[in-house]
């Protein structure tokens, strides 16, 4: 049986903003390509489509790592555990590998104890094997560990890419031996820039891609992997899926890493009025 310390597969396939039919096709293509980690959320409204793709592809359950995230609409007392059970049923699995709080209760309308204690209950009931958080600040992570217990926060999923490396949150995660999970790993396409204009930060990426015989996406993903992050990417193109997965084979040296770290601009893409300000 897997335990709380089970390693999260370093590359995950995300299904944010994919409609039902596209989700099914894309997840099957991702599994065929070799992805073995699928990341969804209650608010994406495609958990059942992920489940349909998993069932159609037919891999043994333990061969695929499934992550979902709980929307704050289900944080109220007595609501979270049934919502996890509904997610499990929608995904068509006996258990969820990792269940995250999608983001803290907006403006702390619901105390953290209320929803994290329910999350721990869902884990105790075997609905999910690991639990964690997403979009949490350092102070919120500290409180989450106080509630869930040291070593019981599997990850903090936050926006991380070359233009927004979230250094303080990442440093706290490392200090607590909690892997960060990077979403928007390719900055929603911003990393591709304008290839014809080899200028500024895009030139750095293009030059590194030339140096390694790789693509810009592979350089960006390889950087996040080398930094120790679980890394999510999304595409509906099977060729791009193969390209992203091959980032595991790109070995960046110390000078490459220094150049990429130097690209951080604190450029946050996902900004919602109810998201906390990162440290």
pLDDT digits (tens, 9 = 90+) for 208-224: 999 999 999 999 999 99
Total domains present in the chain:
1
Residue 91, in any domain of the structure: yes
Give pLDDT, residue 202.
Answer: 81
Q: What integer is the mean pLDDT of 113-123?
A: 98
Lowest average pLDDT, out of 150-164, 185-199, 258-272, goes to 185-199
Lowest average pLDDT, out of 112-121, 178-187, 242-251, 269-278, goes to 269-278
Distances (CA, A) of 240 to 13, 175, 233, 235: 12, 34, 10, 7
Residues 92-104 have pLDDT tens digits of 999 999 999 999 9
* Cα–Cα distance measured from residue 170 to residue 164, given in angstroms and rounded to the nearest whole number: 11
Give pLDDT, residue 4.
Answer: 44
pLDDT at 273 over 90: no
- The enclosing domain of 76 has a CATH number of 3.20.20.100
What range does the domain containing 144 cover? 11-154
Residue 260, in any domain of the structure: no
pTM of the model: 0.94
User: Which of 44, 95, 103, 115 is flagged as catalytic?
Assistant: 44
Q: What integer is the mean pLDDT of 126-151?
A: 97
Residue 190, in any domain of the structure: no
Q: What percent of the chain has pLDDT over 90?
A: 89
| Mean pLDDT, the chain, integer | 94
Residue 130, in any domain of the structure: yes
Q: Is residue 183 annotated as a catalytic residue, yes or no?
A: no
pLDDT band at 244 (very low <50, low <70, confident <90, very high): very high
């Amino acid at each position: 049986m897997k335990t709380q310390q089970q390693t999260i597969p370093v590359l995950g396939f995300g299904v944010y903003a994919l409609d039902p039919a596209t989700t099914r096709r894309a997840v099957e293509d991702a599994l065929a390509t070799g992805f073995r980690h699928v990341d969804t959320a209650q608010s994406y409204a495609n958990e059942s489509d992920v489940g349909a793709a998993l069932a159609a592809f037919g891999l043994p359950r333990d061969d695929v790592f499934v992550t979902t995230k709980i929307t704050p609409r289900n944080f109220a007392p007595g609501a979270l555990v049934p919502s996890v059970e509904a997610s499990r049923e929608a995904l068509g699995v006996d258990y969820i590998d990792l269940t995250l709080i999608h983001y803290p209760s907006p403006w702390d309308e619901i105390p953290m104890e209320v929803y994290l204690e329910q999350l721990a209950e869902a884990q105790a009931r075997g609905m999910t094997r690991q639990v964690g958080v997403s979009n949490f600040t350092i102070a919120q992570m500290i409180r989450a560990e106080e509630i869930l217990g040291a070593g019981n926060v599997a990850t903090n999923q936050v926006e991380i890419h070359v233009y927004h490396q979230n250094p303080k949150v990442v440093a706290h995660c490392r200090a607590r031996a909690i892997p960060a999970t990077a979403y928007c790993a390719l900055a929603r396409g911003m990393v591709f820039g304008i290839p014809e204009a080899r200028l500024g930060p895009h030139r750095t990426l293009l030059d590194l891609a030339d140096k390694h015989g790789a693509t810009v996406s592979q350089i960006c993903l390889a950087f996040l992997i080398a930094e120790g992050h679980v890394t999510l990417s999304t595409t509906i193109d099977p060729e791009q899926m193969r390209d992203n997965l091959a980032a595991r084979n790109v070995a960046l040296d110390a000078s490459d890493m220094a150049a990429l770290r130097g690209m951080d601009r604190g450029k946050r893409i996902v900004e919602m009025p109810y998201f906390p300000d990162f440290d």
